[in-house]
Chains A and B, each alone.
Chain A
Amino acid sequence: APSPFPLPRYASVLGPHTVLLVFSLIYLPRSSELFFPLPPPTSSLDHPQPKWMEPITAAPVWTLFWVVLGVWGCLGAWAGSVRRWAKSIGIADSSSDWMVCAIIPACSFLSLVICTPIYFVLVVLFGAPYSSYLVHTLLLSILLSLLTAYVPCYVLPPPRQDSSTSSLVLRYQWTRLFSEFLTKSPLERILVYPGVGTLIGAWAGAAPIALDWDRPWQAWPLTPAYGAVLGYIAGSYAALLTSGMLYFAAQ
């Protein structure tokens, strides 16, 4: 019989995961300084921003690049843990066939390739410039696909189009999770909640851009990107909280 979901393990890994994500938000963008001198700030010279923010705001494209890289690394490790837990409770395909080992990472990578253009279009539809800042928007789309699609595609078997019962059930599971946002187990919450948090965070991150504060951090797309990662973290903790409360309620 499948053992219950290892909620304490999840809780203990979530801490380092969060720390690493925050690290890739705040410290990783400083790597730019290793490769080239940062361009001097051009706006708000009279109101200097805190020193630690300077490497983040100096070159938004590079900041986004480092954040994407950092998040990718974090999520790679994280996806492995989640898949192990999924295996332990018998949800993921538990065969250790080399085919599966090769196919699964390929699938999650493919999810990025598919999702990035979709997010790109969506972000432009929401009002991002359509003729400029294309690299900025592209990096934001990659970040959004990473945060929302990478882990689910790594953990759950990809949906298939044939008409067997197992494919039907699988398709139903995908639409239930990512179209109706109905979750039934702790694992499903771990897969869905951070994604929803990401979208809400990125959505809310668009608001400060319009303000006339003239701060360097208002540069596109820093606020939606940071909002997305923070939303992801909040979603992860919301998943833990919900599952924990339901667990204790059931006890």
Chain B
Amino acid sequence: MARLPLLSGHVLALLLLVYLTLLHLSGLLLFTRGFLLSRLALPNIAPSTPNTTLPPTHSRAIVIIIDALRWDFLAPSPPAPPSPYHHNLAAHDPSRAFLFHSYSDPPTATLQRLKGLTTGSLPTFIDIGSNFHSTSIKEDNLILQLASSPRFGRRAFMGDDTWLSIYPDSFTPNLTSPYDSFNVEDLHTVDAGVTSTLLPLLSSQLPPGTPAESQPFQFLIAHYLGVDHVGHRLGPDHPAMRAKLLQMDSVLRQVVALLQEDTLLVLLGDHGMDPKGDHGGDSVLEVSTTTFLYSLGPALRTLPSPLPAALTPHTTYPGSPSRARSIQQIDLVPSLSLLLGLPIPFNNLGSIIPELFWRPGALESALRLNAQQVWAFLCAYRESGSGKELDDAWDGLERAYVTAKSVGRPVPSSGSTDGGEQARISINMSFAFVRQALETCRALWAQFDVVLISLGLAVLLLSCLALGGLYSSLARGRAVWEEVVRQALGAALGGAVLGGALAWGAGRALGPEAGKIGLQELVLFGASAGSALLLLLTTVLPNNLPAPTRKWDFDSLLAATVVALHAASFTSNSFILWEDHVVPFLLLTLLLPTLLRAPSAPTTHLQYRLLGFPLLLAACIRLMSISTVCREEQHPNCHVTFYASSTLPVSPQLVLLLALPSAWRVLQISKSDRGLAPLFLEYGLRASLLAGSAYWLIEQLESWRGLNPARIPGLKDIRMVLARVVLSCTLVGGYSTWALAPPCVEMRMSEPEGELDKPPRERKRQLIVLGYTNSYGSLYLLFVLVFYALTGQVVMVLFAVALLSHLETTDSVRDVEMLDMSAIAALDPTAPAPTGPQRAYPAPKMVEIVLLALLGHLLFFATGHQATAFIGFKVLTYPYSAILVVLNSVGALFLSALCVPLLAMWQVSPVLKTQEGRVYASVGCAACAAWLRRHLMVWKVFAPRFMLSGITLIVIDLGLILAVGVGSAVTSNKIRRMFGTAP
């Protein structure tokens, strides 16, 4: 505190920005801890040895999955009153057929359920360790175990193509018939297709008694989608549902008729559906599904005595008159593995289904294997990088396992499971241990922490409010802004210490009652919330700053509306899906008033400028928005127009034609207005742009079919050299030119207050000055330009043009205001002459900054990103790709942050305003994600969008720090050189 007053202006500004970044980081951290469930996917594969397997009861298996088969569709005792549209299964043989109510872990979406159904693990938002880009499963799983066993050489698959996206190479190619799962409108195509493949395949089986190896298939998955589609379209209580279920019933009857004795039949639903027929959340109806097992040959259950009650939990389906035997859906994984003589997949957390092993000796050994496998997994997980997660629960787990093991050991081969009391205890203990492991992991990985989520939201919201308060007091006290910032920083520091201490005290006092929230998180929250609160208080409390001068005019209202609309659009998954179209729409909305007001500008020249530049800007926005990659959900209304050359063999002709001229053209625009651009801008920039285009052209050439690249030696090297030359040229050449160039930027800052007294020619020169700054802005562009493929370059050039037009528009608007002022002053000499720094250089308006922020957003989409794909990049060919990848993905946003000072001449308050807009968006996004955390689309839409906006916020913060830090340092150096004094 004592040293603060000695700090100069831009160090203060930097400190403030760093503080705000930290505040945002802590809010995001808290929120993320509660919201994003993560788990480490271990790469271990369970070995197949006699110690890990049981003798198989069946040598073949048929798994029929009926998507969204809710429990009451099949339940023997359906809820009262029974729906007339549902269908009830006939009575069955209790030793060969088993019907279970099964609990499927949320999110109840097909992809997540299929992962759970094959790995036996719990779904989380991020499975760390797996490849982010592809959806294929790398963990140990049932399908992988099948594929690596010689006994299951022919694996057939038919139905929902989701399977092939997670197991691309696990099924025998000529036995695979995938169907598109996307068209929910279509109720019958998939089902008819599956049936028409399934029944002939079953009929083609060789007669019973043939060795299983020579049968046409050893393992078969048939995935029906009709029930799910009927649910989505018409809901569960509709005549069509009954028809569909009857159709499924007839399929099942035909399959059973064709079933052979060595084959195990499993019929299951992957999840249920809510009363409207949707699924994805964790309501009882969505997680209640059905599992049905049928063994024509060997009886799975031979012991007459009842199973221990602890092993057979029951549950009551809502409205049902009686309780139903209930299992966890993932229990199928160990059960199926052991019945087929395979090892249990390494990451499995399910326990075996006791009914299927209720034979002499079988249950105990099965549970022993199960417990061993789960223990091995827990140990491996604990040794991994994320092992700390298990710390709290470790003692309990270890005790449970040791007990189960020690009880089991004295009678390793007791012969009869039924008899020994010891064996009974051992069974109970092992089962209890496996269930305890499941519950522990579920608490760790599969539960949102609402308290942490709210704490994070509170910090973000407070930071937002504090930022608003700070902005307003900075806007009011612009003359003494250093004093304001100093005060604010002091308050923030004090608040942080106070809040942190309070939270620490509270955490200590509460002790273990604080629940899952650790002391660190509590202190983090206390410190950030305290500092934000105190900061807010200092800005709100009465002070000696002048009253706000600018009232809410139409433009500010419009800008606020647009920001609010953007934030509100995150409540709907549709708007997030189409955000690449929403953003240009909002941008145009911002531009329209300027366009409409153009004819009322005082001079013809300004009228033309105000019509021309916004139109040019609008055209650039529209052209940029043409370039996009599509999300899966946008199909079939979207076509990929962003071509990354590495993935396309044929070059997009239009883009090739456009690339060079537009690169040339943008520089003419940036130069034409001024005429005093230094040498670098004239040649260096152009050369780098051309070289950048050439780089991608060569890459296009290499993949062109008509050309044999091998014949041209060193083509690749040329490309590589080009890329590096461009990089070093822009980095070294560009930035050194910028740093050494004469300080024309300060013309406006050094201007005296009496702006109005100057002749118009003087004002004209300001335009030149501003434009000159702009051409420096294009250096920022160059910096990231080379990281984009050819289409990206065209888009970047468009962005440059858009940026320049935006600045020109802004400038013209300011000129109009200036002229209006002078006109009023001339007409009415008694009017108070506008004084003070506000008039000397008008502060950027909210609308201008919001526009810039949205422009950056648009650039993000136009350079080939979609909000879900932000982390799956294409691989770049040259080294040091880590930085490049980061720049490629967030460069667009970074860029827009860097450009803010162009509007503002290194002022602090507008920078804050940008942050504020960003924070609103992030808070809106986070709040929606939290609110809709049970929504169907949370995994696919809301959570990725939240992550994107969190990253965006931080990137913008860093960009602003860089812009203000480096930019203002260079600028003030120049001023010093020019005037010989500090500013």
The residues of A that contact B600 with a CB separation of less than 8 Å are: 175-176, 179-180
- A179 and B599 form a contact (CB under 8 A): yes
Determine, out of B545-553, B580-588, B805-813, B870-878, the stretch whose residues face the partner at the interface: B580-588
Q: What A residues does B882 contact at CB under 8 A?
A: none
Q: Name the distance in Å between A129's Cβ and chain B's nearest Cβ.
A: 10
Contact between B574 and A125 (Cβ–Cβ < 8 Å)? no
Q: Which of B88-96, B246-254, B614-622 faces chain A?
A: B614-622
Q: Are A175's CB and B585's CB within 8 A? A: no
Given the complex, which residues of B lie within 8 Å of A206, measured CB to CB?
A: 585
Q: Is residue A9 within 8 Å, beta carbon to beta carbon, of the partner chain? A: no
Residues of the A chain whose Cβ atoms lie less than 8 Å from the Cβ of B234: 46-47
Taking CB atoms, residues of chain B closer than 8 Å to A43 are 185
| Contact A127 B625, CB 8 Å, known A47-B233, A210-B582 | yes
Per-residue CB contact flags for chain A residues 166-181 toward chain B (1 = under 8 Å, else 0) read: 0000000011101111
A185 CB, nearest partner CB in chain B, Å: 19
A36 proximal to B (CB < 8 A)? no
A77 is an interface residue with CB less than 8 A from chain B: no
Residues of B close to A211: CB separation below 8 A: 572, 574-575
Judged by a CB distance under 8 angstroms, whether A162 is at the interface is no
CB-defined contacts of B575 to chain A, threshold 8 Å? 210-211
Instruction: For the complex, give the distance between the alpha carbons of A181 and B600 in Å.
Output: 10
Q: Tell yes or no: B165 within 8 A of A by CB.
A: no
Interface members, chain A 41-73 (any B CB < 8 Å): 43-47
Chain B contact residues, majority secondary structure: helix
Q: Are B619 and A125 in contact (CB under 8 A)?
A: yes
- Contact residues of A between 145 and 183, Cβ < 8 Å to B: 174-176, 178-181
Query: Is A126 an interface position by the 8 A CB rule?
Result: yes
Q: How far is the CB of B189 from chain A (nearest CB, A)?
A: 14
Q: Would you call B2 an interface residue if the criterion is a C-beta within 8 Å of the partner chain's C-beta atoms?
A: no
CA distance A181 to B593 in the complex (A): 11
Closest to A206 in B: B585
B584 touches A127 (CB 8 A): yes
Within 8 A of A (CB), among B749-766: none
CB distance from A102 to the nearest CB of B (A): 28
Nearest chain-B residue to A47 (Cβ)? B233
Binary contact readout B229-245 vs A (1 if CB under 8 angstroms, 0 otherwise):
00001100000100000
Contact of B588 among A126, A130, A214 (CB under 8 A): A126
Central interface residue in B584, B588, B599, B626, by most chain A CB within 10 Å: B599
Q: Tell me if A212 and B577 are in contact (CB < 8 A).
A: yes
How many whole Å from A137's CB to the nearest CB in chain B? Answer: 13
Q: Is the CB of B598 within 8 A of A210?
A: no
For residue A5, CB closer than 8 A to chain B, the reply is no
CB closest chain-B residue, reference A212: B574
B184 to A, closest residue via Cβ: A214
A124 touches B (CB below 8 Å)? yes
Q: Once the chains bind, are A125 and B597 in contact (CB under 8 Å)?
A: no
A175 to B610, alpha carbons, bound, how many Å? Answer: 14
Q: How long is the Cα–Cα vector from A176 to B588 in the complex, in angstroms? A: 23
Task: Judge whether B510 is part of the interface by a CB distance below 8 angstroms.
Answer: no
Cα A236 to Cα B185 with chains together (Å): 42
Instruction: Determine the chain A residues whose CB is within 8 A of the CB of B448 once the complex forms.
Output: none
Contact with B along A115-149 (1 / 0, CB 8 A): 00000000011110010000000000000000000
Residue A109 at the chain B interface, CB threshold 8 Å = no
Q: Verify if A203 is at the interface (C-beta below 8 Å from B).
A: yes
Chain A residues in 8 Å Cβ range of B577: 210, 212
Q: How close is A198's CB to chain B, nearest CB, in angstroms?
A: 13
Contact of B585 among A45, A126, A180 (CB under 8 A): A126
Looking at chain A's contact residues, is the secondary structure mostly helix, strand, loop, or mixed?
A: loop
Please state if A125 and B582 are interface contacts (CB–CB under 8 Å): no
Bound together, the chains give a CA A178 to CA B600 distance in angstroms of: 9
B596 at the A interface (CB under 8 A): yes
Is the CB of B413 closer than 8 A to any CB of chain A? Answer: no
**A203 and B589 contacting across the interface, CB-CB below 8 Å:** yes
CB distance from A11 to the nearest CB of B (A): 29
B522-537: CB near A (< 8 Å → 1, else 0) gives 0000000000000000
B573 touches A212 (CB 8 A): yes
Contact assessment for B599 and A210 in the assembled complex, using a CB-CB cutoff below 8 Å: no
Residue in B closest to A44 when the chains form the complex, CB atoms: B185
User: Which residue of B185, B572, B581, B598 contacts A179 across the interface (Cβ within 8 Å)?
Assistant: B598
Contact-size category for A: 20 to 34
User: Is there a chain A Cβ closer than 8 Å to B578's Cβ?
Assistant: yes
**How far is B356's CA from A194's CA once the two chains are assembled, in angstroms?**
74
Contact of B597 among A44, A126, A179, A210 (CB under 8 A): A179
Is B574's CB under 8 angstroms from A124's CB?
no
Q: Is the CB of A127 within 8 A of B581?
A: yes
Rounded to whole angstroms, the CA-CA distance of A232 and B373 in the bound complex is: 71
Residue on A with the closest CB to B589? A203
CB nearest to B238 among chain A residues = A46
Cβ-defined contact, A125 with B588, below 8 A: yes
- Binary B-proximity of A194-212 (CB < 8 A = 1, otherwise 0): 0000000001001000111
Q: Which residues of B contact A181 (CB under 8 A)?
A: 596
- Smallest CB separation, A172 vs chain B (Å): 9
Q: How far is the CA of A133 from the CA of B677 in the complex (A)?
A: 45
B30 to chain A, nearest CB (A): 32
Residue of B nearest to A182 (CB): B600
CA distance A206 to B582 in the complex (A): 10
Closest to B626 in A: A130
- In chain B, residues 364-398, which have Cβ atoms closer than 8 Å to a Cβ of chain A? none
Residues of A within 8 A of B598 (CB): 179
**B584 nearest CB neighbor, chain A only:** A127
* Inter-chain contact B574/A127, CB cutoff 8 Å: no
Cα–Cα distance between A210 and B625 once the two chains are bound (Å): 16
Q: How far is the CA of A245 from the CA of B906 in the complex (A)?
A: 48
Report Cα–Cα, A155/B574, bound state, in Å.
44
The verdict on A124 contacting B622 (CB below 8 Å), with A210-B574, A210-B582, A212-B573 known, is yes
**Minimum CB–CB distance for A133 against chain B, Å:** 12
Name the B residues within 8 Å of A126 (CB-CB): 584-585, 588
Separation of A126 and B619 alpha carbons in the complex (Å): 10
Measured CB to CB, the closest approach of chain B to A197, in angstroms, equals 15
Q: How far is the CB of B460 from chain A (nearest CB, A)?
A: 27
Q: A43-B185, A210-B581 are known contacts. Are A125 and B572 too (CB-CB below 8 A)? A: no
- Residues facing A in B597-637 (CB within 8 A) are 597-600, 618-619, 621-622, 625-626, 633
Return chain B residues, CB-CB under 8 Å to A178. 596, 599
Take A43-B185, A210-B574 as given contacts and tell me if A125 and B599 are in contact as well, using a CB distance cutoff of 8 Å. Answer: no
Inter-subunit contact A175/B599 (CB<8 Å): yes
* Distance (whole angstroms) from the CB of A243 to the closest CB of chain B: 22
Q: Is the CB of B578 within 8 A of A210?
A: yes
Instruction: For B585, list chain A residues within 8 Å (CB).
Output: 126-127, 206
Q: Is the CB of A125 within 8 A of B622?
A: yes
CA distance A46 to B183 in the complex (A): 14
> A212 to B185, alpha carbons, bound, how many Å?
13
Q: Which of A124, A180, A212, A214 has the most CB of B within 10 A?
A: A212
Q: Report chain B residues within 8 Å CB of A44.
A: 185
Taking the nearest CB of chain A, how far is it from the CB of B68, in angstroms? 16
Contact A179/B596 with A210-B581, A210-B582 known, Cβ cut-off 8 Å = yes
Kindly list chain A residues whose C-beta atoms are within 8 Å of the C-beta of B597. Answer: 179-180
Give Cα A179–Cα B577 distance, bound, in whole angstroms. Answer: 35
Nearest Cβ on chain A to B279's Cβ, whole angstroms: 16
Name the residue on B nearest A199 (C-beta). Answer: B592
Query: How far in angstroms is the closest Cβ of chain B from A235?
Result: 16
**B599: A residues at CB distance < 8 A:** 174-175, 178-179
- Give the CA-CA distance A211 to B598 in the complex, in Å: 34
CA of A202 to CA of B958, assembled, Å = 39
Q: Which 6 A-B pairs have the closest CB atoms?
A: A179-B600, A179-B599, A210-B578, A46-B233, A211-B574, A175-B600
Binding site for B on A (CB under 8 A): 43-47, 124-127, 130, 174-176, 178-181, 203, 206, 210-212, 214
Q: A174-B599, A212-B633, A214-B185 are in contact. List 5 more A-B contacts (CB 8 A).
A: A46-B234, A46-B240, A127-B584, A176-B600, A180-B600
A and B contact pairs by CB, cutoff 8 A, 14 listed = A43-B185, A46-B185, A46-B240, A47-B233, A125-B619, A127-B585, A176-B600, A178-B596, A179-B597, A179-B599, A179-B600, A203-B589, A210-B574, A211-B572
